[in-house]
Structure 1
Amino acid sequence: MNAEQKRLEQPGWKKWGSYVSDRQWGTVREDYSANGASWDYTTHDMARSKTWRWGEEGIAGISDDKQNLCFSLALWNKKDPILKERYFGLTNQQGNHGEDVKELYYYLDATPTHSYMKMLYKYPQQEYPYQRLIDENAARGKDEEEFELLDTGLFDENKYFDVFVEYAKGDIEDILIKITVHNRADEAASLHVIPTLWFRNIWVWGRHNYKPAMWQIDKQSIQLKDEALAVQYLHQQGNGRILFCENETNNVRLYNVANKTPYPKDGINDYIIHGANTINPGKEGTKAAIDYDITIPAQGEYTIALRLTDKDNFGTDFDTIFEQRINEANAFYNDLQAEIKDKDERLVHRQALAGMLWNKQFYSYKVEQWLEGDPAMPEPPKERWTGRNSNWRQLYNDDVISVPDKWEFPWYAAWDLAFHCVTLAMVDPDFAKQQLLLLTEEWYMNPSGGFPAYEWAFGDVNPPVHAGAVYRVFKLDASIKGKKDYFFLEALFHKLLINFTWWVNRKDNSGSNIFEGGFLGLDNIGVFDRSSPLPEGMREEQADATSWMAVYALNMLHIALELATFNKVYTGMATKFFEHFMYIAGAMANMGEGDSGLWDEEDEFFYDQLRMTDNSIVKLKIKSMVGLIPLFAVEVISKKTLEDNPVFEKHMSWFLRHRPDLAMLVSRWYEEGKENKHLLSLLRGHRMKRILSRMLDETTFLSDYGVRSLSKEYHDHPYVIKQKDTELTLKYAPGESDSYTYGGNSNWRGPIWLQMNFLIIESLRKFHYFYSDDFRIEYPTGSSNFISLKEAGTELACRLLKIFLKDENGKRAVFGNNEKYQKDPHFADLILFHEYFHGDSGKGIGASHQTGWTGLVANLIKMKNSNP
């Protein structure tokens, strides 16, 4: 067991971590408007002057796990109109494809206890082009690419600083900080490096009276006092100027009313840039910064060392501890990557996991308090009580949570989180389990049984993937620790049972076992917005919603059978979910006399359909990811499992004898596979072959970089549906979204999404586990090359990895045609994990730091190099 693994077993090591958001402005929880216009109520321009209610933001920020105290980096190149204290980006209305961060930063390394972390921020030496980025993107349509920071030319002559921020823990309450600035230009350049420390303001709202404090004790040190913290000092090794102000809103600037202090939150900004009298001469406050005004020679570097600690001096062991933590991080990843031999795969794998670990955030949102407002603040508008999230008054979040990314998605999302945990469990299974449990707590779940979807609308419906993540994490945890955590599995099963019942009661309006999930995370894949209400009496019966529920039933069946190994009372629950899966399978195939179900015999594909008021059906014949999701509903039950659960086998056999119509719909239940295994699947052999034939066809779904979300056949021949005087069109769009649905920043009309491909690969492996190598499929379709299902999954994984790994010319598809990214040694190995990827070129698009589910590339690399 290496040193980091030992720390994972010790309490307290995760108290301090990368828990500061990249963006607090523009979030729902800071929005107190009547109309819920979050992007307008708080802005980037306001952020430097406004005290936040629910959380904090910063560059390379860290905090304790309740975010009482925060530390982050500020910079000034002596050209900008403001300090660079937070990342800049476009709001949903400003971006031609929705919200978009316009900065260059990279998460390079991290251990699960945050004992060592490293990130990089690239800062231009010329004035940052805030307004130009807004104007250029405003002038571009949805058919054009976004205007990025690199497009401004500010990096063309390498006139920028590479700012590396590293953290190493000497102990639980002892955090060593190293900031190394490289001047990449061929001439000397100056800047201010301004490490900043502040208390989150919890005293001004009228709910807490206690106010912490910090003050200067000598030229090298700041002392802190907070009843909730053991950390008491920030020491510097150099001679930067120590500056103080208060973490209080500048009311004069924002609202033209009197300030409570002459030294408000933006006091340090105004002092450094304008020489204003806005820092406290008494050398005390609730926000402090150490200002280093430095000049770095051409191609030179400068290092700053600080220590946030419970010790009263800087000490002499700084370099020793840093070296030790770096070596321990290397040892941890060397053990984790023992099977991964390729150097580039190891680099991508490690950076993917670094992004996952950096994208943890302290998330505070107490909806009851948010709705009613705070005693010392103006009363919120009455509209809030019937507006966004008003029926989630039980929601009381105050935890460190894994988020998709901390700028474009600085909030948790239910189905994203499930995928996060599958990756996080590789390095920290206890944290993964805690996160999965968190979402099922009473102060998270709605009393009705629904999971909170995400901050913008907790009541939206995401695919029910939680149970699948629970079982994956349970198995991975057991493989790492050598024992099964039945307490975790049992606790989750009971909460999942409530959520499953919610789905059955809320999303199957006709009781037909055909589900109408609505949005389901698939954004604008359909010909119309699936979350919008249909005319009265009509409903959309969804192939994906129904398939997800079949997956849910199979996951619950598998969990129940696992639990039955130590408590036979769960045998009955296994029977319940077996039967429920059978009913869903039957409904998808044939819902009644004259009804062919969601499978279309002519096209041999699954489609959504509209059920009209007269009970007639209009099939939405769109070949999209919706029709591939039935592949995910597959599980294999071994003969040994049935022998260990004879009551379940008896009940199952009775059901199959009495419902042969349903038994025949499930893939060869009566035919045992190799090693006496049985297959449960929505797809019989023929249907599976037909779907795989389409999915693996390079003229439709299969790209060089994975499976597209929409068939390419709609590129030249869009899908059109006419309803009375309305004509709706759906066209293949392999890159950015051409639709304003969901703000226009989402696109399921052709790009590659890693998490859906991950589930496809898993399903292929499950089918192979049953069918073995004897079952061969043509790959790609039309090639006359036949391989096993497992080999097909591996080939698909390799296509996905081509997005990130260097090709024979040393280029990465994720970078597109950007020569700076591809060839510059200071860019070429800095990986971005985008939200999705171009369906034809593999270029990264969408949110640029969404390791939330693109971090699954780490699982794919591990899968490719193992042989389960």
Structure 2
Amino acid sequence: MSTAEHDRLADSDDPRAAWRRWGPYVSARQWGTVREDYSADGDAWGSFPFDHSHLRAYRWGEDGLAGISDLDGYLNLGLALWNGRDDRLKERLFGLTNPQGNHGEDVKEYWWALDGTPTHSYASWLYRYPQAAFPYEELVRVNGERGIEEEEYELADTGVFEGDRFFDVQVRHAKASPSDLCVEITATNHGPDAAPLHLVPQLWFRNTWSWGLDERRPRLWAGEPRQGYAAAVIGEHHELGRVRLEASSGPGAEQVEPSLLFCDNETNVAALWGEDAAREGDTAYPKDAVNRAVVHGQADAANPARTGTKAALWWRFEAVPPGESVTVRLRLTELEGAPAVATGVEEVLAVREQECEAFYAQVIPAGTSEQDALIARRAFAGLQWGKQLYLYDVPRWIEGDPGQPPPPPGRHTRRTGRNTRWRHVNLAEVISMPDEWEYPWFATWDLAFHCVALAHVDPFFAKWQLLLMCREWVMNPNGQLAAYEWNFSDVNPPVHPWAAWQVFSIDGGRDRDFLERVVLKMLLNFPWWVNRKDSEGSNVFEGGFLGMDNVGLFDRSEALAGDQRLEQADATAWMGMFCLKMLRMSAELARHDKAWDEVSTKFLVHFLSIAEALDDFGTHHTSLWDTEDEFFHDVLVDDDGTAHRMPVRSMVGLLPLTGISIVPNWVATELPDLTDFFQGWTERRPELADALIHTNHRGYALRTLSLVSKEQWSALLRPLLDEGEFLSPHGIRSLSAAHRDGVSVHVAGADLSLRYVPGESDSRMFGGNSNWRGPVWLPVNALLLDALRIYGRGAGAGVEVEYPTGSGQQMGMEQVAHEIEERLVSLFRPGPDGRRPGTPRHHPRGPLWDAHPTFSEYFHGDDGRGLGASHQTGWTALVAHFVCAPDGIPNR
């Protein structure tokens, strides 16, 4: 395949390649993040609240609407809006903090990533801006009055969108060259009346001079516009060199010219902490000067000398007629080394948009329906817009800056300080984020799922992201992978090997260098798990919550009483899958380097030990498999060895299905060490051979390794495919619906219980936004689909099962996987009334809303409506993987 975008990608096999130099790397929220928290109590939300965001300079990043920046975040360009009624400029997205929301943190805005290419040669983004005053106080107050049993109070619930009284503001980016960026902003009045609107795009330098580390100060100033442009801003930066931003008015705005406003990207100390806190040298024109000039009419707020480190272009439209649009255009150019391009902004946008169409026509399989192609395109767009610059130098953050007050003493202590065991972390990278607003920071296991979808459009970036998490400035010296910035030491499931194999295969199975680098780093991560999470050396693992939040009877992250330990079915399953993916990858490497043959054998041995222990561990010979319930359960073990099985049918007990792999036929002739071990082990342990090493029905030498025996597979498939248990109309639930009436157990003097809740959890067991009491979650669905397909191509070839359970309809395993995948994709397809099942409850109905698929964090277990973070185009972008690889990855 060869398109203009594919050609650009071929020249962009470096994270700092020219075409990757500029992109939508600006966060939608920097306030309330751990990095900006310098409090004594570690309350990131309270340390830097939303009401400070327009007044305080950030230390570790920037935020904005539809923002773009260079790879280092030195220079940022973003959009600000004002409807003539708000009490502040709309410069960034608003939402509730964790303590404010009745279900935890939650964004209260509506926007969509419409399009985007991997090199950011073209991108499009849409924001829905109310014409009424934005109800900031009402949203905080009403949600604060609601309990956990009530639904969240959303922006649409306030009535500000009634009668379609809003502007749709579409921002399009296109690059004429790697250092020549074109931007078009079009605002359309969908309301019945004329309405005012101010478009205020802003250009600013990240503040690097206030911290006492580098006093060099960049500068912006008013310049002379070239012919065809109405205004110009010139900038000078010690790393970027000289840049120029020029502006012109497009259709609907021909008679309006922009005003220029200048100030400094520095904190308004007096407004935040009083005049007494002001220091000599503080700027007279701080960060909020543009806000005060536009919203509050303070003509003297901006610098009359028309210079500073932040500049705004201010278009004022007193009354945009109903149904009409206004368009303005910008061009940002690096002046040093940028080729002269005569093409205008309009022409650049048109060409790059056509190239974007051609690119996705190659990526999305021929014959894909128009709706499914749109779903995939939007998912990929969200992933492109989710690439954000992440700056975090942990030792500098802990010690503080020489130009600022010292952090509180507790910040340094290994016992109470956050991330003090991760002083080696020093990141300044563009990283795929789970979500633009609610999770504007990397999470390693989320990122692994992102990379599977990203591999379809940008395999280099997908591979680089997986490797980045394993580099010495991220991965802990003890081998642990960082979890997320709130607590790098938290334990996330080890899905890195699974994702690496998926990415390697999607990319054609050619990049052996990538595969070897990943396997080498996983050889460090694997013993961390063995040494830290198998306390008894029993090959049955612990690990804490492991992403399952609160599907259990108690918080698995909390310390247990005395010497109790929780032996976890999911932790053990994750490690079984870890072994099998390492076996498969090292076997692939052994085809060209025989030293890897012995590594394959090592992981086979460990897998077999885990598989055996899953059914029999400890001095009391306890099994995680319940022969009566025919399901896997966690087991709580007392210090005397007494075991208490947790009788919950949840995703925890289904995950052992994912411990499955096919050993290719060529292993018998090409890997002598592994083959000799297979033969010797089956001779020594014939009683286990049939349970763990299966051959398919055709009698081929092909072997299927599985944590789960054929009998257990059959037993687990019954509840998995039962619509009264795990099988929902839109995928696999995380808790069996058989628990609608609840399940309880008496353990160690305590009565524990839970019940199936299809939507938001009714428990705060695992924080304010605990949710895994029933909803459908795409990542674990993807893992289960992969397992079903592997079984169907191996030991389960030719085997038919009842689908759904009780229906009398029989089908093969691969067809079952396809049918479940169809249920998942149906979340995003319009129904007969035009409404997509996965659309959140609070999205209004109608063509203007139904046109846009949304990518929620998880989905209601009964009706499929979107829940949690409303823009989780990270792991939920796996739907694009389903569309582009409807039969799974090739069985390599």
User: Normalising by the residue count of structure 2, what TM-score does the alignment of the two structures yield?
Assistant: 0.94
1:237 matched to 2:240? The reply is no
1:478 matched to 2:504? The reply is no
Aligned pair partner of 1:833 in 830, 855, 863: 855
AA matched with 1:452: A
AA matched with 1:782: G
1:77 matched to 2:107? The reply is no
Deviation at 1:596, TM superposition (A): 3.9
Tell me the distance in 2 between the aligned counterparts of 1:233 and 1:57: 21
Tell me the distance in 2 between the aligned counterparts of 1:724 and 1:662: 35
Structure 1 residues 650 and 226: CA distance shift in structure 2, 3 A: same
Partner of 1:227: 238
Tell me the distance in 1 between the aligned counterparts of 2:662 and 2:176: 48
Given that residues 361 and 400 in structure 1 are in contact (C-alpha distance below 8 angstroms), is that contact kept between their aligned partners in structure 2? yes
Partner of 2:755: 731
Q: How many residue pairs are counted as aligned between the two chains? A: 860
Partner of 1:760: 784
Tell me the distance in 2 between the aligned counterparts of 1:510 and 1:114: 50
Partner of 1:86: 92
AA matched with 2:91: E
Structure 1 residues 722 and 258: CA distance shift in structure 2, 3 A: same
Given that residues 123 and 163 in structure 1 are in contact (C-alpha distance below 8 angstroms), is that contact kept between their aligned partners in structure 2? yes
Tell me the distance in 2 between the aligned counterparts of 1:278 and 1:816: 41
Q: Quick check: 413-422 or 470-479, which moved more?
A: 470-479
Q: Deviations over 1:226-263 (max 9, x none)?
A: 12215610000132001100000000011222160110
Partner of 1:288: 311
Q: Deviations over 1:501-555 (max 9, x none)?
A: 1000000010000100112111111111100000121000000000000000001
Given that residues 78 and 192 in structure 1 are in contact (C-alpha distance below 8 angstroms), is that contact kept between their aligned partners in structure 2? yes
Aligned pair partner of 1:109 in 101, 112, 115: 115
Given that residues 799 and 813 in structure 2 are in contact (C-alpha distance below 8 angstroms), is that contact kept between their aligned partners in structure 1? yes
AA matched with 1:33: S
Q: Deviations over 1:807-835 (max 9, x none)?
A: 233321112566733xx221112111000
Structure 1 residues 816 and 286: CA distance shift in structure 2, 3 A: closer
1:789 matched to 2:813? The reply is yes
Tell me the distance in 1 between the aligned counterparts of 2:6 and 2:378: 19
Partner of 1:847: 869
Tell me the distance in 2 between the aligned counterparts of 1:564 and 1:768: 26
Partner of 1:365: 392
1:500 matched to 2:526? The reply is yes
AA matched with 2:373: R
Tell me the distance in 1 between the aligned counterparts of 2:760 and 2:31: 25
Tell me the distance in 2 between the aligned counterparts of 1:865 and 1:116: 30
Structure 1 residues 329 and 865: CA distance shift in structure 2, 3 A: farther
Secondary structure class of the residue paired with 1:177: strand
Q: Deviations over 1:74-116 (max 9, x none)?
A: 0000101100001110000111100000001110100000000
Tell me the distance in 1 between the aligned counterparts of 2:518 and 2:709: 31
What pairs with 1:432-831 in structure 2 (closer than 5 Å)?
A: 432-478=462-508, 484-591=510-617, 594-668=620-694, 673=698, 675-716=700-741, 718-723=742-747, 726-771=750-795, 773-815=797-839, 820-821=844-845, 824-831=846-853
Q: Deviations over 1:116-151 (max 9, x none)?
A: 000100000010000111111111111111111111
1:390 matched to 2:431? The reply is no
Aligned pair partner of 2:323 in 270, 293, 299: 299
Partner of 2:136: 130
Tell me the distance in 2 between the aligned counterparts of 1:207 and 1:642: 60
Given that residues 386 and 434 in structure 2 are in contact (C-alpha distance below 8 angstroms), is that contact kept between their aligned partners in structure 1? yes
Secondary structure class of the residue paired with 1:721: strand
Aligned pair partner of 1:404 in 419, 425, 434: 434
Tell me the distance in 1 between the aligned counterparts of 2:305 and 2:591: 67
Q: Quick check: 675-684 or 620-629, which moved more?
A: 675-684
Secondary structure class of the residue paired with 1:827: helix
Deviation at 1:848, TM superposition (A): 0.4
Given that residues 737 and 744 in structure 1 are in contact (C-alpha distance below 8 angstroms), is that contact kept between their aligned partners in structure 2? no
Partner of 2:156: 150
Structure 1 residues 181 and 789: CA distance shift in structure 2, 3 A: same
Question: Gaps (5+ residues) in structure 2?
Answer: 12-16, 225-229, 250-256
Partner of 2:34: 28
Deviation at 1:366, TM superposition (A): 0.8
Deviation at 1:725, TM superposition (A): 5.0
AA matched with 1:465: V
Given that residues 364 and 883 in structure 2 are in contact (C-alpha distance below 8 angstroms), is that contact kept between their aligned partners in structure 1? no
What pairs with 1:319-358 in structure 2 (closer than 5 Å)?
A: 319-358=346-385
Tell me the distance in 1 between the aligned counterparts of 2:587 and 2:748: 51
Deviation at 1:315, TM superposition (A): 5.2
Q: Deviations over 1:586-641 (max 9, x none)?
A: 00011256524111111111000001011010000100000000010000012222
Tell me the distance in 2 between the aligned counterparts of 1:223 and 1:272: 22
Structure 1 residues 214 and 818: CA distance shift in structure 2, 3 A: closer
AA matched with 2:33: T
Tell me the distance in 1 between the aligned counterparts of 2:627 and 2:887: 39
1:258 matched to 2:278? The reply is yes
Tell me the distance in 1 between the aligned counterparts of 2:887 and 2:518: 31
RMSD: 1.6
Q: Deviations over 1:28-66 (max 9, x none)?
A: 111011110111000100000110000111111110111
Partner of 1:248: 266
Partner of 2:227: none
Tell me the distance in 1 between the aligned counterparts of 2:50 and 2:828: 32
Given that residues 667 and 682 in structure 1 are in contact (C-alpha distance below 8 angstroms), is that contact kept between their aligned partners in structure 2? no
Q: Deviations over 1:723-761 (max 9, x none)?
A: 455322211110012121333213111000011111111
Deviation at 1:337, TM superposition (A): 1.8
Structure 1 residues 230 and 320: CA distance shift in structure 2, 3 A: farther
Tell me the distance in 2 between the aligned counterparts of 1:602 and 1:505: 33
Deviation at 1:722, TM superposition (A): 2.4
Tell me the distance in 2 between the aligned counterparts of 1:375 and 1:142: 44
Secondary structure class of the residue paired with 2:827: coil
Tell me the distance in 2 between the aligned counterparts of 1:659 and 1:201: 66
Tell me the distance in 2 between the aligned counterparts of 1:73 and 1:703: 41
Structure 1 residues 475 and 341: CA distance shift in structure 2, 3 A: closer
Given that residues 774 and 860 in structure 2 are in contact (C-alpha distance below 8 angstroms), is that contact kept between their aligned partners in structure 1? yes
Deviation at 1:400, TM superposition (A): 0.3
Q: Deviations over 1:694-732 (max 9, x none)?
A: 11011111111111000111112x111224553222111
Aligned pair partner of 1:66 in 72, 79, 84: 72
Tell me the distance in 1 between the aligned counterparts of 2:315 and 2:270: 29
AA matched with 1:738: D
Partner of 2:253: none
Tell me the distance in 2 between the aligned counterparts of 1:810 and 1:463: 37
Given that residues 737 and 749 in structure 1 are in contact (C-alpha distance below 8 angstroms), is that contact kept between their aligned partners in structure 2? yes
Tell me the distance in 2 between the aligned counterparts of 1:368 and 1:674: 59
Aligned pair partner of 1:95 in 75, 84, 101: 101
AA matched with 2:430: V
Percent of pairs with identical residues: 45
Secondary structure class of the residue paired with 1:157: helix
Deviation at 1:779, TM superposition (A): 0.3
* Moved >4 Å (runs of 4+): 311-316, 671-675, 816-819, 865-868
Partner of 2:252: none
Given that residues 667 and 685 in structure 1 are in contact (C-alpha distance below 8 angstroms), is that contact kept between their aligned partners in structure 2? no
